[in-house]
Chains A and B, each alone.
Chain A
């Protein structure tokens, strides 16, 4: 039953101090990585070290620590850019607060510049609210039409009318991996289809960043958004990657210090990208932490993490089906290479909130609710689902704890 994992989970767990604590007197089973991943000790240590030895504001002071802080901040940009396969990290990596802010930035700058009422943006039914609402807000301002790509009966994207939807569209904005279904979307072919139709493609990489290889150049995409805390990094930092020639033409987003070349009483001249989009003091320690997270992920190997989680997902799907049969409804494609480590489910008549509460009492952390994907939930006809999701530190024992906890939930409620 238990396949051999390419990851030594016991060794990996030693890098994550939080996993050594107990929850309600039990070993903690953290199955909420899709909401936020845990940071390894190296990330916390890198940020501590920065604050205790180096901290100064960046791009301003000429004293030694200020120069060091600037160098660390900019080298974080390079490290993260290289991780993503960005051809020119120094010009292409914009630091934001999170994926949500990255997509808002894109909608407010590129969207306002390029999209009017005769234009269209194509989204999909499996998008997170972060990749829906900013475009709806843009549509309210500009009248741009929003079109939604549907799903097939295995909850993969239904590509049968993709070309039709892309006809006349200027942007396809799609997630690399659903935070509810675990569906992994083939970005390369979507990028090719978008470009063939004369549209650009933006990829919401928040959910995929920790689990799937990204190479923006190889995938031939135009924009990519990420959140640090979903890829073993700190909260408070995200990334918008964009092709240099696209970013170079965009208007500023937020105004303030750091994003200008010159300011007079009657006008300002914006700085070049990426500083043009980084008004105010940026998340410096967080950038240092995120760079360390990226080094940690590279050390394990994204493909190894994916293989590990894939194996664990297969194990979990088998065990849940064996334990509950028709009593459990799992939403997402069957186990396979395009099924990531996210398992959303309904268990009989037990509400997701109650499932999560009972699982909490045995140290199992899952998420109940609509997972910020209400259009998808409406499509599924589900009001709330419980979701278990995996990271490199997740193991068979976590799945076993989940199944045991769910068995307990059925005895309370059935």
Chain B
């Protein structure tokens, strides 16, 4: 139960109930990418504006569980107004937070321990660290992030 409370922290439930930056940016200037989680059918659409190397606006739409939706909402709040280079770094940091524990759970044997993530650099996003105790939910938490990375990749940013 303690693990469950850590998974469904109040901040996560808050972002699930009241998702930030909900919607879709249209028009040719908007970058967009769609993500799917084939295991559970979660779908997400990330649209964003990048001007002069800065993410000036981002909107999230789609459907999914509390973890995928709140993670995408937290992500949108974390990257809006940030330079692309910093956004890229945050994506990497967040994904490392999710994979560090994945490696530990999979009995990685003698594999070197990855560098621990400094949670202070993640701000509110650190609320999602409880997810790593539930390996099946990691894909939910990373869906929005992978989709954002895809949108940036597609635009060669």
**Which residues of chain A have a CB within 8 Å of any CB of chain B?**
24, 351-354, 357-358, 361, 368-370, 374, 377, 383-384, 412-413
Contacts and interface: CB of A to CB of B under 8 A. Distances in A.
Contacts of A368: 40, 65
Contacts of B13: 412-413
A407 B157 CA distance: 47
Given A357-B7, A357-B134, A361-B1, A384 B66 contact: no
A354 B1 contact: no
Interface in B1-55: 1, 3-4, 7-8, 13, 39-43
Given A351-B66, A353-B67, A413-B13, A384 B134 contact: no
B64 interface: yes
B4 A358 contact: yes
Contacts of B65: 351-354, 368, 384
Nearest to A369: B40
A369 B41 contact: yes
Contacts of A374: 41
Contact of B137 (A352, A353, A370): A353
Contacts of B41: 369-370, 374, 377, 383-384
A384 B40 contact: yes
B64 A351 contact: yes
B121 interface: no
Interface of B: 1, 3-4, 7-8, 13, 39-43, 63-67, 134, 137, 140
A14 B50 CA distance: 63
Contact of B40 (A358, A370, A413): A370
Contacts of B134: 357
A369 B39 contact: yes
A377 B40 CA distance: 12
A368 B40 CA distance: 7
Contacts of B7: 357
A378 B137 CA distance: 23
Contacts of A357: 4, 7, 134, 137
Contacts of B67: 353-354
A377 B41 CA distance: 10
B80 to A, nearest CB: 25
A368 B41 CA distance: 10
B91 to A, nearest CB: 23
Nearest to B1: A361
A368 B39 CA distance: 9
Nearest to A353: B65
A370 B64 CA distance: 12
Contacts of A413: 13, 66
A260 B43 CA distance: 47
20 contacts: A24-B1, A351-B64, A351-B65, A353-B65, A353-B66, A353-B140, A357-B7, A357-B134, A358-B4, A361-B3, A361-B4, A369-B41, A370-B40, A383-B42, A383-B43, A384-B40, A384-B41, A384-B42, A412-B13, A413-B66
A353 B7 CA distance: 13
A12 B66 CA distance: 38
Most buried by B among A351, A368, A383, A412: A351
Contacts of A358: 4
Contacts of B63: 383
B57 to A, nearest CB: 26
B3 to A, nearest CB: 8
Contacts of A351: 64-66
Contacts of A353: 40, 42, 64-67, 137, 140
Given A368-B65, A369-B41, 10 more contacts: A352-B40, A353-B40, A353-B64, A353-B65, A357-B4, A357-B7, A361-B4, A374-B41, A377-B41, A384-B40
